[in-house]
Amino acid sequence: MSENKRTVERYMDGFRTSNHEQILFCLTDDVEWILPGAFHLVGKEAFDKEIENDAFVGSPTISITRMVEEDDVVVAEGTVVTRRRDGVVLTLAMCDVFEMRAGKIKRLTSYLTEIRGL
């Protein structure tokens, strides 16, 4: 497994346990996180505030079904199951595009859509 894929695995494991330090270690200082239609964050401090969003409780269950890499881009596809503060459980299809620099995540674009009826 490449260094970039190992970083993405470490990042995902950090989210599975809400381990801020582990997640932030995987990022460049000038990291960008884009969730099209929702937000565009810049920098570790802004990223850190979104790791445990107030609208949700607990840590998400993240399952990766495919991870591919070309040059310094890693794409991870899978599902996320999370619980909103109001008790509703969301199951989301996800596709994260990680742009890497020197083994760290410099830009993340997250595409998420709810899977209904599961």
Structural domains in the chain plus CATH codes: 3-114 (3.10.450.50)
Q: Which residues sit opposite 81 in a β-bridge?
A: 61, 91
* Concatenated DSSP letters of 6-33: HHHHHHHHHHHTT-HHHHHHTEEEEEEE
Per-residue pLDDT tens digits for 17-34: 999 999 999 999 999 999
Predicted structure pTM score: 0.94
The confidence band for 118, taking pLDDT boundaries of 50, 70 and 90, is low
Per-residue pLDDT tens digits for 34-70: 999 999 999 999 999 988 888 889 899 999 999 999 9
Per-residue pLDDT tens digits for 54-112: 888 989 999 999 999 999 999 999 999 999 999 999 999 999 999 999 999 999 999 99
d(CA 51, CA 44): 11
